[in-house]
A and B are shown apart, each in its own frame.
Chain A
Amino acid sequence: MSVDLNSNFFELFSLPAGFEIDNSALSESYRVLQREFHPDRFANADSTSRRQAMQMSAHINEAFETLKNPLLLSRYLLELQGISMNQETDTTSDAGFLMQQMEFREQMDDVENQPDPLEAADQLRDAVQSENASLLQQFRSEYEQNNYDAARQTWLKLQFYDRLLEQLSLLEARLEDELLN
C-alpha cells in the first residue's frame, strides 16, 4: 500500500495555502517532519515499517521540493483548484510570446559567436530571468484574483522559460569546458 496522506502539501507543513511561502517556517517544518520519518529513524524497525517510513520521507521531500520551486508551486496551486496540465501536449498558442521565444533561442545559438561568449550568456540569462520573474508576478495576480484560466495560460508560458534556463546552463557548462581545454 502507499502512504495515505489526506493533508495537502500546505497542511503537511502547517503553512497557509498560497503563493507566498514563509521559507524559514517551511524549512523548519521540513526538518521536524524528516526527523520523525526519515528511514534512518527506523534502521532497527521491521522491514514493512522501514518501507513505510521511506515512502513517507519521500512524500515529505516531494512536498518540500514543490513548495520551494516557484514553477512547481504554481502548478500545484492550480492542481488544488482542480486544474491539471499535461506537460506533453498542452502548450501556449500566444503567437507573440512564441515569437519572443524564438528570438531568445536565436540569441542563444549566437552566444558562441560573440567575442566574449560567457559574458553574452550571462546577459542572456539576466534577460530571460527578468522575463520569467515578471511572468511569475502575472501568474500570482491572476491566481489571487481567482482567474484560473488566465493563470493556466501563464503557467504554460512559464514552462518555456524553465527549459530555456536549463539549456542555457548546459550551454554555459560546455563553453566553460571548451575554454579550459
Chain B
Amino acid sequence: MALLQISEPGMATAPHQHRLAVGIDLGTTNSLVATVRNAVAETLPDQDGQHLLPSVVQYKKDGVTVGQAASEAAREDPLNTLSSVKRLIGRSVDDLKLVAGHLPWKFAGTNSAVPRIKTIAGEVTPIETSAEILKVLKQRAEETLGGELSGVVITVPAYFDEAQRQATKDAATLADLNVYRLLNEPTAAAIAYGLDQGREGVIAVYDLGGGTFDISILRLNKGVFEVLATGGDSALGGDDFDQAIAQWILTESGTEAAADDYCFMRGLMQLARDSKEKLTESETASIDLVLPDGSSWQGELSRDQFDQLIEAFVKNTILASRRALRDAGVKKEDVLEVIMVGGSTRVPLVREKVAEFFGREPHVEIDPDKVVAIGAALQADVLAGNKPDDETLLLDVIPLSLGIETMGGLVEKIITRNTTIPVARAQEFTTHKDGQSAIAIHVLQGERELVDDSRSLARFELRGIPPMVAGAPRIEVKFQVDADGLLNVSAEETSSGVQASVEVKPSYGLSDEEIEAMLRASMDHATEDMQARALREQEVEAYRVIEALDAAMEADADDLLNEEEKQAILTARDHLQELVCEHSEMNAIKAAIKNLEKASESYVARRMNLSVKQAMTGHKVDEFEKL
C-alpha cells in the first residue's frame, strides 16, 4: 500500500520526532560509528575513549571478542581470530581459492555458496563475523545515545558488486540493524565535506588505509553522484610504510638475524609506526631500539630518508589514480575537488604527491580516519527525517552492468552500468520445447561479454509455466534494482496471467532460509522471545499502515472514493485494528495487513497519480478535478 503521504504545505502528517540514526564505516582494518548531535556530526568513542574499532573478531568457546583485545590475540590464536573479513564478504568459495594462500584460517567443505571458516565456536561465515563488529558498534551507539536506533547508513566501497552489497546488508540484518541505505564510501566522504550541496563537477577521492588503496572518480551533477571509475590496489597501504621503516632499522642496526624473533619484531613494528607518525610533524625521528640481547641501538630517520623508503609505494598510487582518470574519461584539469581519506594520507609525501598530480591542494580538514563515518552519519540524519527541510537528494548509479546468460555462453546486458537506481527492466522469455514448464535463468554482473569472465550472481528457475507449444508462452521477467543496488527478480506468464514462481539460488549470498537460521542461532533468547519480537514487529507495522491510511483518508477519501469503495477499505482497516488490539497471532495480523493492502490498492494508485500532478504544479489536492 503506497499511502505515499501527500504532504501539503503547513500540514505535517505527524508531529516531528527526533530519531536516533547513525552512520557506520565498516572498514577492512578499522570500523567506526558516527552520529549527528546538536547539528554536529561526530564519531562515537568506546568507554576507553577509542573511536576506531579494529575490525577483528576472536571466536572463543563461550563467546566472541571484538576489537583491540581480539587484535592482540591474533598471534596466539590465529585460527580463531578473523581479521580483514571485508576482503571475503560476498565472495564465493571459488573466489577464496585465489587468495587462500594468504589466509591462515581453515575453511569448511560446504554445499553453501558462502565460505565457512572453521573456528572453535563452530563454522562461521564472513557475514556473521561482520555482524559481530556491527553489533559492538550498535551497542556503543545505543549506550551513548540512550535509546534504540531507528536506522543506520552503512558505507561500502564504490566497486562492491551486488553480492558484496547484499552480504553487507545481510550482516546488518543479523546484527538487528535497520538499514536506511548502503552508501558508497567516496560519496560519504564527499557528503562530509558538504560537496553534495555545492558545485557540480568531478571529484576525486583518494583513500589510502592501512592495507588498501582506493581511488574513486565521481561526477556530481544536481545531487546525482555518478561513480565514473574506481581503481586502486587491494594490497597497498600504511602497513607497507611501517614495513619499509622496520626493514631500514633492521639493516641500519645490523640486527637482521633477529627478524624471526616475534617479540622483538612486534616491538620493532610499533617503533616503525611511531617513527612514521612522528615524521608527519617533525623533520626527524630518533629511534631507540632495544635488541634481543638487551643492548640498545640509537638511530635517526629523517623525513627525506623516509620519503625515499616509501616513494615507490606512493608512486604506485599516483599511477592508479592516472588510470582511474583515464577510465573515467576525464582529464586532471576537470577535477574540481580532491578528498583525502584513510589514516595514511597524513603522510606528508602522500599529500605532496597527490597535490602535485592533481594540480590542487586536497581536502584534509576532516580527520581522514573519520571522514567516511561522518558523511554516513550526515546522510543517516537526513534519512531519519531529522532535517525535514532538507531538499537534497542523493541519487546513485549501479556500478556494474547486470545481464543474463544467453546462447553460446554470452551475456546479454539488461541494465547497463551507471544507470540511475532504483531501476526496473522487464525482459520477455519464451520456451524452446512444446509443453516446457520451466526455464532456467542465470544472472551475471560485469562488463565483459563472456559468461566465464563475469561474476555469477544468481541462478533461478521459472516454474509452473502452463503447457503450450514452443514459443507460445510469454514470460515477463522483471529485474528490479533498489536504491541500495540490490537485485530483486519476479516473473509472470503474460498470455495466461499465471504467476510463474521464481526460485533464486544466490551464487554468493545467503538464501533467506540461511539468514533465518542464523538469526535463530544468534539469538540468545528463548524461542518465545523471538516470537514475541516478531509479533511486536508485525504490530508496529500494522500501526504504521493504519496511521498512514487514516491520515490519507481524512485528506481525500471523499474525493477519491465512492461509498462502496470506502466501506470496503474501512472494513479491512477495522479488522486489522481489532486483531492488533487483541494481540492476535502474528500470521493473522500479517494476513490482515495484506488484505487491507489489497482493499486499498486502487485508492493508493489514485493518490499516487494525484501526488504526481501535485508535485509538478505545487497546487493543492482539491484544486484538481474530482475523480
Q: Are A58 and B480 in contact (CB under 8 A)?
A: yes
Q: Are A43 and B548 in contact (CB under 8 A)?
A: no
Specify which of A37, A40, A46, A51 is in contact with B181 (CB 8 Å cutoff).
A40
Residues of B within 8 A of A56 (CB): 2, 4, 608
Docked pose: A1 CA to B544 CA in angstroms: 19
Asked if A44 meets B150 with Cβ closer than 8 Å, knowing A49-B1, A53-B4, the reply is yes
Q: Are B180 and A43 in contact (CB under 8 A)?
A: yes
For residue B588, give the distance in angstroms from its CB to the closest CB of chain A: 18
Residues of B within 8 A of A55 (CB): 2, 422, 424, 480
- In the complex, whether B318 has a CB less than 8 A from a CB of chain A is no
- In the complex, whether B616 has a CB less than 8 A from a CB of chain A is yes
Asked if A54 meets B608 with Cβ closer than 8 Å, knowing A48-B2, A61-B422, the reply is no
Q: Are B222 and A54 in contact (CB under 8 A)?
A: no
Residue-wise, chain A 125-164 has the 8 Å CB interface mask toward B (1 for contact) of 0000000000000000000000000000000000000000
Interface size on A, residues (CB 8 A): 44
- In the complex, whether A106 has a CB less than 8 A from a CB of chain B is no
Docked pose: A62 CA to B548 CA in angstroms: 28
Residues of A within 8 A of B181 (CB): 40, 43
Q: Are A57 and B483 in contact (CB under 8 A)?
A: yes
Q: Are A3 and B3 in contact (CB under 8 A)?
A: no
Q: Are B395 and A12 in contact (CB under 8 A)?
A: no
Specify which of A4, A31, A36 is in contact with B611 (CB 8 Å cutoff).
A36
Q: Are A48 and B422 in contact (CB under 8 A)?
A: no
- In the complex, whether B419 has a CB less than 8 A from a CB of chain A is yes
For residue B446, give the distance in angstroms from its CB to the closest CB of chain A: 14
For residue A14, give the distance in angstroms from its CB to the closest CB of chain B: 5
- In the complex, whether A34 has a CB less than 8 A from a CB of chain B is yes
- In the complex, whether A95 has a CB less than 8 A from a CB of chain B is no
- Residues A56-81 near B (CB distance < 8 A): 56-59, 61-62, 64-65
Q: Which single residue of chain A is at the shortest CB-CB distance from B416? A: A166
Residues of B within 8 A of A61 (CB): 419-423
Q: Which single residue of chain B is at the shortest CB-CB distance from A46? A: B544
Asked if A49 meets B548 with Cβ closer than 8 Å, knowing A31-B223, A37-B4, A61-B422, the reply is yes
Docked pose: A29 CA to B151 CA in angstroms: 30
Interface residues on B, range: 35 or more
- In the complex, whether B100 has a CB less than 8 A from a CB of chain A is no
- In the complex, whether A47 has a CB less than 8 A from a CB of chain B is yes
Docked pose: A23 CA to B612 CA in angstroms: 19
Residues of B within 8 A of A34 (CB): 393, 395
Docked pose: A61 CA to B395 CA in angstroms: 10
Asked if A40 meets B609 with Cβ closer than 8 Å, knowing A48-B545, A52-B604, A57-B422, the reply is no
Docked pose: A45 CA to B544 CA in angstroms: 7
Docked pose: A156 CA to B544 CA in angstroms: 50
Q: Are A49 and B3 in contact (CB under 8 A)?
A: yes
- In the complex, whether A6 has a CB less than 8 A from a CB of chain B is yes
For residue A7, give the distance in angstroms from its CB to the closest CB of chain B: 7
Q: Are A32 and B422 in contact (CB under 8 A)?
A: no
- In the complex, whether B532 has a CB less than 8 A from a CB of chain A is no
Residues of A within 8 A of B480 (CB): 54-55, 58
Residues of B within 8 A of A7 (CB): 609, 612
- Residues B1-31 near A (CB distance < 8 A): 1-5, 19
Q: Which single residue of chain A is at the shortest CB-CB distance from B150? A: A44
Asked if A12 meets B548 with Cβ closer than 8 Å, knowing A43-B180, A57-B483, A62-B423, the reply is no
Docked pose: A31 CA to B180 CA in angstroms: 21
Residue-wise, chain B 583-627 has the 8 Å CB interface mask toward A (1 for contact) of 000000000010001000110110011011001110000000000
Residues of B within 8 A of A21 (CB): none
Residue-wise, chain A 14-47 has the 8 Å CB interface mask toward B (1 for contact) of 1000000000000101011111111110111111
Q: Are A48 and B597 in contact (CB under 8 A)?
A: yes
Selecting from B236-244, B270-278, B383-391, the interface stretch reads B383-391
- In the complex, whether B60 has a CB less than 8 A from a CB of chain A is no
Residues of A within 8 A of B37 (CB): none
- In the complex, whether A176 has a CB less than 8 A from a CB of chain B is yes
Residues of A within 8 A of B330 (CB): none
- In the complex, whether B482 has a CB less than 8 A from a CB of chain A is yes
Residues of B within 8 A of A1 (CB): 601, 605
Residues of B within 8 A of A53 (CB): 2, 4
Residues of A within 8 A of B516 (CB): none
- In the complex, whether B541 has a CB less than 8 A from a CB of chain A is yes
- In the complex, whether B394 has a CB less than 8 A from a CB of chain A is yes
Specify which of A13, A49, A58 is in contact with B422 (CB 8 Å cutoff).
A58
Residues of B within 8 A of A4 (CB): 602, 605, 608-609
Specify which of B419, B423, B608 is in contact with A3 (CB 8 Å cutoff).
B608
Q: Are A49 and B541 in contact (CB under 8 A)?
A: no
For residue B311, give the distance in angstroms from its CB to the closest CB of chain A: 22
Docked pose: A176 CA to B609 CA in angstroms: 48
- In the complex, whether B326 has a CB less than 8 A from a CB of chain A is yes
Asked if A59 meets B424 with Cβ closer than 8 Å, knowing A3-B2, A5-B612, A49-B4, the reply is yes
Q: Which single residue of chain A is at the shortest CB-CB distance from B593? A: A48
Asked if A44 meets B19 with Cβ closer than 8 Å, knowing A36-B615, A39-B422, the reply is yes
- Residues A166-181 near B (CB distance < 8 A): 176, 180
For residue A113, give the distance in angstroms from its CB to the closest CB of chain B: 22
Q: Are B395 and A54 in contact (CB under 8 A)?
A: no
- Residues A66-123 near B (CB distance < 8 A): none
Q: Which single residue of chain B is at the shortest CB-CB distance from A40? A: B383
Residue-wise, chain B 379-408 has the 8 Å CB interface mask toward A (1 for contact) of 000111100000101110000000000000
Q: Which single residue of chain B is at the shortest CB-CB distance from A176? A: B326
Residues of A within 8 A of B482 (CB): 39, 54
Residues of B within 8 A of A12 (CB): 612
Contact sample, A vs B, 9 pairs, CB 8 Å cutoff: A1-B605, A14-B617, A31-B222, A40-B393, A44-B385, A54-B422, A62-B423, A62-B424, A180-B323
B-contacting residues of A (Cβ < 8 Å)? 1, 3-7, 12-14, 27, 29, 31-40, 42-49, 51-59, 61-62, 64-65, 176, 180
A-contacting residues of B (Cβ < 8 Å)? 1-5, 19, 150-151, 180-181, 222-223, 323, 326, 382-385, 391, 393-395, 419-424, 480, 482-483, 541, 544-545, 548, 593, 597, 601-602, 604-605, 608-609, 611-612, 615-617
Report, nearest first, the 10 A-B pairs whose CB atoms are least far apart.
A52-B2, A4-B605, A46-B544, A43-B383, A58-B424, A36-B615, A58-B422, A43-B180, A39-B483, A48-B1
